[in-house]
Structure 1
């Protein structure tokens, strides 16, 4: 990754302005995956989402190849969202060969979809970007708590009964469970990796 697309401060990862600048149409960066390619988690995702016609919401898609890889694996019904307009236009153009996929400029804390419209929602590190404010990780700022809870509340609203929210992150359970646990849902946590662990949080409605 070019140094010129890296933020000067980690908290810029939570800024829309940073992402618009990074995803500028003239940027040299074609794609970037924060961690774990689709190949690394494909077997798990196929197990969790056995029906390939499922309607899938990709939260904060960025320029990751995850949607493209899932599409090529047979998951055609993917709706991608990101709050960078620059990025969405770029990705819509790049994936013109895949007309079934949708691309929407949208804030994951305020989804513009009807209630009960998706079978699956996937967050691959997007919530993490909202947690980059300088603070004690054991006692995050109220803004971070509100933002993360708003995302989860919105995701659960747009999921159908029996739907599943999949969140892939490096964040350990004692830092993430507080946002994901709800009385009306079940939470499963799977640890991935050997020397350095990632976590797959599976929230079922």
Structure 2
């Protein structure tokens, strides 16, 4: 498989071309990898609550959610081809061609928002994960403000990513969001992933745990692995997802 360039991941035309020939791909593993965590943190919700998945691509994640009993799912993506393939696979959910940085949904439209590696695709061309003023980080900031706007008070935002907490938490604790953040680490076949659980609440505990004395965390806390840069393509094990999914089915 020829690897694309980092900048390709943010381009609609790349995904259109890719999804023409690709039926399904699960970034950082499929639903079974995260099922227990989703059950744990979404247990306060009713299965009739509205779910929005950002950047659904050709993943079966929303189909798996529906198979678990979740009844009201909307998927958005910038690729029409990806949306059409998902709709043929599972017709009971909603599929909308939309840019997640400028969503047309009404305020407080959803009870749950889920994304898996979609925010990562916006950051792969950033020169440094520490530069929160880069255009890539500002774009993610706009997306997060949109999520805040369309998420019901008391709702839950689940973000699944390869990004380590000291890189992602500063974005999630930006002024005006008013979020609390919890982090779960998932041991993968290749690359570890992290699940960020974001809800309305006090940001102080996450700020203290992940942002204060961050240099000490980077150098000495072996539980949270680190690197100077987030190198999406170099770190991603392109075979691990399929292997893990097949072993769990």
Superposed displacement of residue 137, structure 1: 2.8
Name the CA shift for 1:115/1:13 in 2 (closer, same or farther; >3 Å): same
Superposed displacement of residue 83, structure 1: 0.8
Superposed displacement of residue 194, structure 1: 6.6
Preserved CA contact (<8 Å) 1:13 1:19? yes
Q: Which of 10, 13, 24 is equivalent to 1:14?
A: 10
Structure (1/2) with the larger helix percentage: 2
Deviating above 6 A after TM superposition, structure 1's stretches of 4 or more consecutive aligned residues are: none
Alignment TM-score, normalising by the size of structure 2:
0.74
**Partner Cα separation in structure 2 for residue 104 and residue 73 of structure 1:** 22
- Structure 2 partner of 1:78: 73
1:1-205 map, 5 Å: 3=1, 6-7=3-4, 9-24=5-20, 27=21, 29-50=22-43, 51-96=46-91, 99=92, 101-133=93-125, 135-139=127-131, 142-182=134-174, 184-193=178-187, 196-205=191-200
Superposed displacement of residue 76, structure 1: 1.9
Alignment TM-score, normalising by the size of structure 1:
0.89
Q: Count residues in correspondence.
A: 195
Q: Partner of 2:53: helix, strand, or coil? A: strand
**Partner Cα separation in structure 1 for residue 158 and residue 10 of structure 2:** 21
Q: Partner of 2:24: helix, strand, or coil? A: coil
Preserved CA contact (<8 Å) 2:132 2:138? no
Structure 1: runs of 5+ lacking an equivalent = none
Deviations 1:112-163 (A, max 9, x none): 1000111100010000000111512333662101110011110110000000
- Over the aligned positions, Cα root-mean-square deviation in angstroms equals 1.7
**Partner Cα separation in structure 2 for residue 122 and residue 179 of structure 1:** 16
Preserved CA contact (<8 Å) 1:121 1:164? yes
Superposed displacement of residue 94, structure 1: 2.4
**Partner Cα separation in structure 2 for residue 119 and residue 182 of structure 1:** 21
Superposed displacement of residue 40, structure 1: 1.3
Superposed displacement of residue 90, structure 1: 2.2
